[in-house]
Chain A
Amino acid sequence: MFKPEKLIFDGKRIDGRTLDQLRPIKIEVDFLKRADGSCYLEMGKNRVVAAVYGPREAYPRHIQDPTKAVIRYRYNMAPFSVEERKRPGPDRRSVEISKVSKEAFEAVIMKELFPRSVIDIFVEVLQADAGSRTACINAASVALVDAGIPMKGMLTSVAVAKVDGVLVLDPMKEEDNFGEADIPFAFLIRGDRIESIALLQMDGRMTKEEIKEAIKLAKKGAMEIYQMQREAIMKKFLEEGENG
């Protein structure tokens, strides 16, 4: 990938988006037959599938918690999902993403309702183009609703990047590679408002003031994604109602 001379031109990004515009998003609920809940999601060129299994009995037994459900989250990239073939299996990046994503869901799933059980969340990245962890969280969140898992609210995730000195919402690959900083967020949204931060990471270089601005921009984007997640879920349940 070659570095374009400028990533922002006349207030527009190289794919024609404004600074605060999301990439196109497509959400399909109940995409898989075997899983208890599932979702297919596109966010720009990201294509991800999420599946939820459970609550089910936790094995091996020593991982059981008598007070609450154990949450497992596996983020996995298909070998063909990126430019250069990715060796199958977990690398250090996937391990870290799985950990912080799991923790975000631990904070919103009402796991005390299911002692000794496990809730497995599996996400597969079929194509990645920056922001795959955020796309996966958005998909997983919908899949959890589809599986009927009680949550405190919806988890919605989006990243903000600093590119050519300005902040942009939902960066794509070029902006991620050649930008100066990247902050992925996931928010708990309850009662149609953003309540708190469930996932937060950052790498790059930003001032304190820029981080504050980034939160604002991310919140705007998250509310838009949240509406799409909601619509997709409503659509599925309405259709189900019509078909008996």
Chain B
Amino acid sequence: MAEDILSEIKKDYVLSKLRDEERIDGRKFEDFRKLEIKTSIIEKAEGSALVRLGNTQVVVGIKMQIGEPFPDTPEKGLIIVNAELVPLASPTFEPGPPDENSVELARVVDRGIRESEAVDLSKLCIEIGKKVWIIFVDIHALDDDGNLLDASAIASICALLNTKVPASRFGVGEDYELPIMDLPVSVTSLIVGDKFLIDPTRDEMSVGEKTLTITVDKNDNIVAIQKSGGYLLSESLFEEVIDASIRAARKIREEIIKYCSKIC
């Protein structure tokens, strides 16, 4: 109940600030929060990253295994993205099988990586039609202060950027770096009336869980879109959000490159 009243107060505060064209934390509408990236933090994983986006924190670990390819892509490796919204990350997360929010988060991150062809899956074949590498991207939320999705997408690509294919451990040759060809960046906006706020915090989300995520590749192409939340979106606002997302993605990509030494 106390949460409810607090969130009503926060909502009013966010909206009153918005009327003055301001955000509660002083950011511009199109600014991300401060981004910090640490890579290779889990030795046991093939690749890993811890991302802090403001107070939101996510760890992503990459594990690889050998398995069978899909029959229609016999010479390509596989990538599987999974997200766990563990109860330690938020009072609203509950233990148990993944709910619709974690499924959606994992699938939107997956789409960005897959559709931008960020990982060169053709370099992950061991024996055509029989043995390929399977990449497991496991997203582990630690602290949800809003926009877990973008933090997870950034952490995923950063973890992939420092992934070594563990070939020697599996007795199939020497280890090699996972070939990365693109750097997709997902940009989530909170839709408030005819305005939008990029990278919303948990407090800002109290005005309503209405978001639009646009994932952009290194050539400014759109590779994934997801409208999330029960609201109606105008065509003109959609186009505005696309433009702003392309601009924001460029900035985030630069930061990722700065943190992750390997550049594609």
Report A's interface with B, CB cutoff 8 A: 1, 71, 92-93, 95-96, 98-100, 102-108, 181, 183, 188, 195-208, 211-212, 215
Contacts and interface: CB of A to CB of B under 8 A. Distances in A.
A93, A98, A188, A200: which has the most chain B beta carbons within 10 Å? Answer: A200
B7 to A, nearest CB: 15
Contacts of A195: 232
A205 B116 contact: yes
Interface stretch (B27-35, B125-133, B216-224): B216-224
B109 interface: no
Interface stretch (B53-61, B161-169, B235-243): B235-243
A200 B233 contact: yes
A211 B223 CA distance: 11
A206 B221 contact: yes
A197 B100 contact: no
Pick the 10 closest A-B CB pairs, nearest first.
Answer: A106-B230, A202-B225, A200-B227, A196-B232, A103-B230, A99-B100, A197-B233, A95-B103, A107-B230, A203-B111
Contact of B239 (A99, A107, A199, A212): A212
B231 to A, nearest CB: 5
A197 B243 CA distance: 18
B253 interface: no
Given A202-B225, A207-B220, A215-B235, 15 more contacts: A1-B72, A96-B100, A99-B104, A100-B226, A100-B228, A104-B230, A107-B232, A200-B238, A202-B224, A203-B223, A205-B116, A207-B221, A208-B220, A208-B239, A215-B238
B235 A203 contact: no
B243 A92 contact: no
B107 A100 contact: no
B104 A205 contact: no
A228 B226 CA distance: 28
Contacts of B217: 205
A201 B72 CA distance: 25
A241 B38 CA distance: 69
Contact of A197 (B98, B221, B230, B232): B232
11 contacts: A99-B104, A100-B228, A103-B231, A181-B115, A195-B232, A196-B232, A200-B238, A201-B226, A203-B114, A203-B223, A204-B115
B238 A197 contact: yes
Interface of B: 72, 98, 100-101, 103-104, 106-107, 111, 114-116, 212, 217, 220-235, 238-239, 242-243, 246
A211 B224 CA distance: 11
A204 B226 CA distance: 12
A205 B223 contact: yes
A103 B223 contact: no
A196 B234 contact: yes
B92 to A, nearest CB: 14
Nearest to A216: B235
A208 B225 contact: no
A217 B160 CA distance: 37
B218 to A, nearest CB: 12
B68 to A, nearest CB: 15
Given A92-B103, A204-B115, A212-B239, A196 B233 contact: yes
Contacts of A200: 212, 225-227, 233, 238
Nearest to A204: B115
A203 B238 CA distance: 16
A112 to B, nearest CB: 13
Contact of B222 (A93, A106, A206): A206
A108 B230 CA distance: 9
Contacts of A211: 222, 242
B230 A208 contact: no
Contact of A107 (B100, B212, B220, B231): B231
Contacts of A201: 225-227
B225 A183 contact: yes
A92 B106 contact: yes
A106, A195, A196: which has the most chain B beta carbons within 10 Å? Answer: A196
Contacts of B100: 95-96, 98-99
Nearest to A102: B230
Contacts of B221: 205-207
B116, B217, B227: which has the most chain A beta carbons within 10 Å? Answer: B227
Contact of A203 (B104, B115, B243): B115
A108 B31 CA distance: 31
A202 B217 CA distance: 14
A1 B73 CA distance: 12
A208 B243 contact: yes
A195 B237 CA distance: 13
B165 to A, nearest CB: 26
B60 to A, nearest CB: 18
